[in-house]
Structure 1
């Protein structure tokens, strides 16, 4: 029977690439998507189970969790990829906003980043933990007697390079990703030794279609290796973590040495 992986926010870019590749590798992949992009049909044609959900809305999240539980009794891994990238508003209001209005605008940005990154991961991990535990508890007696579990489940959080160094213009975003890394440490402590919990922290992976050459060159120069490696790098790291039996509570950087370019 095929092991089941859940990937959140996998209807485009990195999530889409990883979902298709992992399905082709022999896993049964379940994904969440917020907006039905054209690629959802491609995922469905490949055998991926695609479930619509707004992970920031508790009612939608609850329905999504119930749907996952209806379709599978065990989960090999949860991969938290769902993300949004929202810039902070200007620090000082210049358009006559009242203090309350300014606070409300700032809170909207902060809450949006916190809800999609930290809160959604926290709630999903707690709600779906029984499915991860069911996967690792399905052992025969010889496996139970071994010193190291023969079956291990995984939680993998996708964070960001800025979680550790901050961001001048995306402070709420960076803070929410840092919160996810802290969740990684706490869960690793709680769920060892049968469930490994790690994070992957990429810097630049791939460009958007509208990015001009000037921007691309400036962005590439921020790392020592000077490349945009694409989604393959994330897929390789996910596979590495799934296959590892001795890594938990770690944040794996995918940044091309960018931290050594910092002033």
Structure 2
């Protein structure tokens, strides 16, 4: 198959939330989009995202990957290479958490830390490592000097130690540090940045809390934010788009998008 004339974006965790919005944002801009699905439990949602991207005129594929499994990551990028022979952006959206009070020390153990780190940190690294050869190759496609891009979805929790659990906060802090290391290691061909959202409506918490608890968190975070709002997935997707396509001088940055929460201590 011939190389795609359109740039290609690979989005992990794109069956819902930020990942779904990001896949659609790139599709609407004329990119080909690889949509990362977890397993059969999320397949219907991933296929709906694919349909929306196709309606926007994009070439698409859906790949299954548990990013905590290195073989899955490598297989996913092999699929992208076989289909389009290029990758111009990787947006790492896959993530996991459980809601455990930070002072509930007896409720969180090494198994939970390892489970969260396996996806949020190790999985992000493994997916990026698998994508690097194709990202580097794609950076040389144009006669004009350019770089490809990795955008990691981190969290405000990684900046101020809040969030759904200690394990989650620690994993996102590690993502921020990994972003710096990768940006240094992959320059000048690949830029690496992170976005650290605060509360995002239709984000990860929607899938781990019951509706009443979720509504309570949403109301509390809205009230606590100086801007008196929470973010929507499309806002984060727009920023990922900007970092990948409109910011050739930006690398190694963790950009907080938290409606001012850091102004009052989170």
The question of a shared fold, defined as TM-score above 0.5 by the shorter chain, is answered with yes
Partner of 1:173: 168
RMSD across aligned positions (CA): 2.1
Partner of 1:210: 211
Secondary structure of 1:32's counterpart equals strand
Partner Cα separation in structure 2 for residue 210 and residue 88 of structure 1: 17
Q: State the 1:117 CA deviation.
A: 1.1
**Is the contact between residue 201 and residue 231 of structure 2 (CA under 8 Å) also seen in structure 1?**
yes
Partner of 2:106: 92
Secondary structure of 2:34's counterpart equals strand
**Is the contact between residue 8 and residue 34 of structure 2 (CA under 8 Å) also seen in structure 1?**
yes
- The reply to whether residue 41 of structure 1 matches residue 47 of structure 2 is yes
Larger RCO, structure (CA 8 Å, separation 6 or more): 2
Q: State the 1:214 CA deviation.
A: 4.4
Q: State the 1:262 CA deviation.
A: 1.8
5-14 or 201-210, which deviates more: 201-210
Partner of 1:53: 65
- Matched residues, number: 244
Partner of 1:81: 93
Secondary structure of 1:221's counterpart equals helix
Partner Cα separation in structure 1 for residue 45 and residue 110 of structure 2: 33
CA separation of 1:106 and 1:195: change in aligned 2, threshold 3 A:
same
40-49 or 237-246, which deviates more: 40-49
252-261 or 81-90, which deviates more: 81-90
123-132 or 195-204, which deviates more: 123-132
Partner Cα separation in structure 1 for residue 163 and residue 8 of structure 2: 39
| TM-score, length basis structure 2 | 0.84
| TM-score, length basis structure 1 | 0.85
**Is the contact between residue 184 and residue 199 of structure 1 (CA under 8 Å) also seen in structure 2?**
yes
- The reply to whether residue 186 of structure 1 matches residue 181 of structure 2 is yes
Partner of 1:99: none
Deviations 1:99-157 (A, max 9, x none): xxxxxx712210111110110111122222110111111233xx3xxxxx2x2100100
Partner Cα separation in structure 2 for residue 40 and residue 174 of structure 1: 27
Q: State the 1:211 CA deviation.
A: 4.2
Secondary structure of 1:157's counterpart equals strand
CA separation of 1:88 and 1:253: change in aligned 2, threshold 3 A:
same
**Bigger radius of gyration, 1 or 2?**
1
Deviations 1:13-72 (A, max 9, x none): 221122122112100010211133432222333243111121223443343333233223
Partner of 2:248: 245
